[in-house]
Copies of this chain bind each other. A is one copy, B any other.
């Protein structure tokens, strides 16, 4: 099996999807000749031509809005938003149209489409190239919200997303684009978006996370293992609909739980995890449910490394709940 970075794996998935089905088309800013600002769409324009790989005018409203029209027509568009931070000019199309199309038409019209967009910090991009907006989408019924944590996961989830009949917001953790390689199967395969993944088995503390925080949590788990704390890591994969059972099963086993994310804390997906645990596994809880997250401030430039949860913050939180009596 070839070794791939997450960028390679995503690029491979996009090639495979376009080969498999002529209805798969892509559109976005700079995805053509330039191959995307991160290179995720490299080679597609050359191979599939400008009718299927479209550089667009600078309008996220237009990118998502026209993709909705294409999806209703019967295509499977995969629009790219250059940074998740720039999705907001098209937010109305997501919330009002894409998410509600199937429901409001009684199932007669649907939006099988995947909005791909790089999310989170890691490139010193300040306010507008670093945000983690998953909670905005996970609060919007009708959407699927997916975020992979490894190259193989990225490929399998992307292929699932493209051939799924629901609209998907696919958040690509840009900090992981070139963060090491992994063996990835060649050709077409899918990974179930509806099931969270146990990224590490353990019995003392459940750490719930997703995307770029996953390897950080894994590092933290390795570190606290030396101190005798056995961490279980649940990598969510999807934040809507989300797999509460896997989280709850783990917490019922460990009795201790933290949720780790980059996004601001208030009304976040980490809040959702904690709330669900407090509702459905409260009797198993032996400690407060911790949240390690970005602060409730805009994403800063100079102090990015302070803003983003790092291994230290995660180990501290694990140790706190592990030793709580």
Contacts and interface: CB of A to CB of B under 8 A. Distances in A.
Closest 7 CB pairs of A and B: A274-B275, A278-B278, A88-B92, A271-B275, A139-B267, A278-B289, A91-B91
A229 interface: no
A296 B272 CA distance: 13
Interface string A251-277: 000000000000110111111111111
Contacts of A136: 136, 139
A74 interface: no
A180 interface: no
A188 interface: no
Contacts of A275: 270-275, 278, 289, 291
Contacts of A184: none
A282 interface: yes
Interface stretch (A93-101, A167-175, A213-221): A93-101
Interface string A291-316: 10001111000000000000000000
Contacts of A267: 135, 138-139, 239, 267-269, 271-272
Contacts of A279: 274, 288-291
Interface in A94-145: 95-96, 99-100, 103-104, 127-128, 135-136, 138-142
Contacts of A88: 91-92, 95-96
Contact of A277 (B139, B278, B296): B278
Given A136-B139, A274-B274, A289-B278, A298 B264 contact: no
A291 B276 CA distance: 9
Contact of A298 (B104, B128, B139, B271): B104
Contacts of A277: 278
Contacts of A100: 127, 298
Contacts of A241: 296
A290 B280 CA distance: 9
Contacts of A287: 282
A71 interface: no
A240 interface: yes
A265 B281 CA distance: 17
A89 interface: yes
A285 B287 CA distance: 11
A103 B141 contact: no
